[in-house]
Amino acid sequence: MSKIEVAKSAGFCFGVKRAIDMVYDVIGKESPLYSYGQLIHNQTVTDDLAEKGVQIVDSLDGLDGGTLIIRSHGVGETLYEEAKAHQMKILDGTCPFVENIHQIVHKEKEDGKGIIIVGDGSHPEVMGINGWCGNSAIIIGSPEEAETVEIPEKNSYSVVVQTTFRQNKYEHILEILKKRGISFTANQTICSATEKRQTEAEELSQNVDRMIVIGGKNSSNTQKLAEICKKNCRNTVHIETICDLVLNNLKKGDRIGITAGASTPPAIIKEVIVTMSEALENAVQNLEGSEEVTFEQMLEESLVTLHTGDVVKGTVIQVSNEEVSVNLGFKSDGIISRGEFSSDPSVIPSKTVQPGDEIEVFVVRVNDGDGNVVLSRKRIEAQKGMEELETAYNEKTVVTGTVTQIVKGGLIAVVNGVNVFIPSSQVSNRFIEDLNVFKGQDLEFNIIEMDRVKRRIIGGRKALVEQEIAAKRAALFETIQAGTKITGTVSRLTDFGAFVDLGGVDGLIHISEMSWGRISNPREVLKEGQTVEVFVLDVDKEKGKISLSLKDADMNPWKLAVDKYAAGTVVEGKVVRMVPFGAFVELEPGVDGLVHISQIANKHVVKPEDELKVGEVINVKVLEVNPEQKKISLSKRQAETDEAPETEE
């Protein structure tokens, strides 16, 4: 006989229950009610609150008055001030454990300490904590990040941790920080209830055949429970409601364990237990022994038995208004709505299936209230897509996905109906400032991380891009030669020059090679993204360096300097630089001459600055030209002497 065992601490934690009770207590008493973000990670509760008038907001823009509900995750300090400015009453459901962390980081920040938060940087709790130290915290989400994250030198740091973080993972991160020589004080802020729930889940999953983890797919603490159980019990599934559970996979004699995240209402846990119990009872029920078999009994026995979560085959009866009717051999027909037909919204059911076609479907609900079976073809697609992605992950093959969303921290690409997250650090081998350029594009990438339990699939293009660049780099170094002219794109500007992408390899134009004239900043000549023709000065294949120049040797102004600035001629120039022994005067861009201090005036000059100013335009006489050494000797004194007779006349 099968046995179902439920973890003692499954379901609502103290902080979540407190927040939920506070909200239900004011419903009908205060209006309007606004929840800053989803109150808890549970769609059933969220939908119920919405029906009762609780509106979810992520900004206070346009709001004036009403009651603002702060969820148990907490928020940053500035939101309280903003709510006050909007004349809103606050119903603060912040978990006391989280509020304690707010107080710690606020005080430590005021005392001059740096703040390090260990946790998921995209989680509302961590974002709220960061808001209590002026959003100045360094956030570390994994041991890998602890190894590489940049931590500025500071006298001391104060470390806090997300309440639902794994204890052993936190300890591992602290050890890494110690090895890096970071001076810090560690605060133990993991919620005791969370630790207890995770311990129970670990013990239970070691002694069952199947493990059911109930809770929101975007709930951090539920994801961690599923992760723990998966390590001990291979047959672990993470569901939000009974609709996500494939009941026909249950077997007679199975030992089944159930746990639930802190945001899972007792009613959902109870529904799962009752439905599973009924399914197991039906599986072992024996109808033999009846002395009389009526026609109705014979009809019932001839029909298939369906349960929510079953995967079955059926025959298409008709397609009407893009809604597909399916014969399942059940007492009622099944219905696939347009939204549940495919994960691709552009797919039209009437052009995809015809009456008589056999299709595989997922049973969402056995009775929709009108006697119909609610079906989904989209979920079958997702399951198959998941299997294909798992194969690609195991075999390290490349997949192609369409970028559908730009989200915080990266991209969402859809591969065979399954969403894959590509972190911004994995989009390319270099930082991409605006990820919107990828929206709608088909990208090739590898699956670098996959967890079917948490439905966490991460893609990466960085390695592919680096392989492609390596190939281009090798090809370029085979052909490029000093003295040739080549076209490239300015990829990056610095104070000392510009890097130009030559097709997989960057070459450097030093600031001295950008103009024959004098420039103080590369941005005076170039801008990022600009296409330029450059001259190759030098190629170092061993070091992988290429030196470039914008200066055309044929346009070198010194080639014409001997004829243009013949000795004895008087020319006009601009003072560009002072030195103790004289002043440099620019005759044209790229050609400077020196007026020695003895040639500045018809009197003794102590400092050039006493007679000249940078930027001043003066007449000078050319004394000597040396184009090989790029030197011209000039005299302001003699130029004035030559002009003097004319002035007297």
pLDDT single digits (tens) 360-378? 998 888 877 777 889 998 8
pLDDT at residue 300 above 60?
Answer: no
Compute the distance between CA of residue 550 and CA of residue 525 in angstroms, rounded to an integer. Answer: 10
How does pLDDT run across 526-566, given as a tens digit for each residue? Answer: 888 899 988 888 888 878 888 998 887 667 777 777 778 88
What is the SS3 assignment for 125-169? HHHHHHHHHCCCCEEECCHHHHHHCCCCCCCCEEEEECCCCCHHH
Compute the distance between CA of residue 272 and CA of residue 6 in angstroms, rounded to an integer. Answer: 11
pLDDT at residue 283 above 60?
Answer: no
User: CA 434 from chain center: how many Å?
Assistant: 12
Tokens of 101: 């962390």
pLDDT at residue 293 above 60?
Answer: no
- Specify the residue for token string 């799962």: 272
- Residue spans of beta strands (DSSP E) within 179-243: 184-186, 210-214, 236-239
> Average pLDDT, stretch 346-351?
86
Number of C-beta neighbours around residue 529 at 10 A? 8
pLDDT at residue 295 above 60?
Answer: no
pLDDT of residue 294: 39
Which one is predicted more confidently, 290 or 583?
A: 583
Tokens of 486: 């080549």
What is the pairing mode between strands 311-320 and 323-327? antiparallel
pLDDT of residue 285: 46
Q: Are 259 and 197 within 8 A, CB to CB?
A: yes
What is the SS3 assignment for 366-389? CCCCCCCEEEECHHHHHHHHHHHH
Which residues are CB-contacts of 554 (< 8 A; sequence separation ≥ 6)?
none
pLDDT at residue 512 above 50?
Answer: yes
How does pLDDT run across 183-198, given as a tens digit for each residue? Answer: 999 999 988 777 788 8
pLDDT of residue 644: 58
How does pLDDT run across 30-71, given as a tens digit for each residue? Answer: 889 999 988 877 777 888 888 888 999 989 988 889 999 999
Q: What is the DSSP letter of 216?
A: -
How does pLDDT run across 124-153, given as a tens digit for each residue? Answer: 999 999 999 999 999 999 999 999 999 988
- Starting at the earlier edge strand, list the strands of the sheet with 255-260: 3-6, 255-260, 210-214, 236-239
φ, ψ at 77 (rounded to 5°): -60, -35
What sign for the dihedral angle of Cα 106, 110, 113, 115? positive
> Average pLDDT, stretch 269-294?
57
- Specify the residue for token string 């010194």: 558
Looking at residue 220, its amino acid is: S
Distances (CA, A) of 436 to 65, 252, 405, 407: 36, 52, 9, 10
What number of CA atoms fall less than 13 Å from residue 473's CA on the CB side?
17
pLDDT of residue 247: 65
pLDDT of residue 453: 67
pLDDT of residue 473: 80
Q: Which residues are catalytic?
A: 125
> Average pLDDT, stretch 514-518?
77
Kindly indicate the confidence band of residue 301, based on its pLDDT and cuts at 50, 70 and 90: very low
pLDDT at residue 303 above 70?
Answer: no
SS3 at position 523: helix
pLDDT of residue 529: 87
pLDDT of residue 281: 62
- Percentage of the chain beyond pLDDT 70 is 93
Compute the distance between CA of residue 620 and CA of residue 630 in angstroms, rounded to an integer. Answer: 17
How does pLDDT run across 200-218, given as a tens digit for each residue? Answer: 999 999 999 899 999 888 7
Compute the distance between CA of residue 185 and CA of residue 201 in angstroms, rounded to an integer. Answer: 30
Q: Could you please report the per-residue DSSP string of 478-493?
A: HH--TT-EEEEEEEEE
How does pLDDT run across 481-496, given as a tens digit for each residue? Answer: 888 888 889 988 998 9
How does pLDDT run across 604-641, given as a tens digit for each residue? Answer: 989 999 899 999 999 999 999 888 888 999 999 988 88
Compute the distance between CA of residue 488 and CA of residue 503 in angstroms, rounded to an integer. Answer: 7
ω into 266 cis (within 30 of 0): no
pLDDT of residue 110: 93
Which one is predicted more confidently, 180 or 483?
A: 180
Q: What is the DSSP letter of 71?
A: P
**pTM confidence score:** 0.41
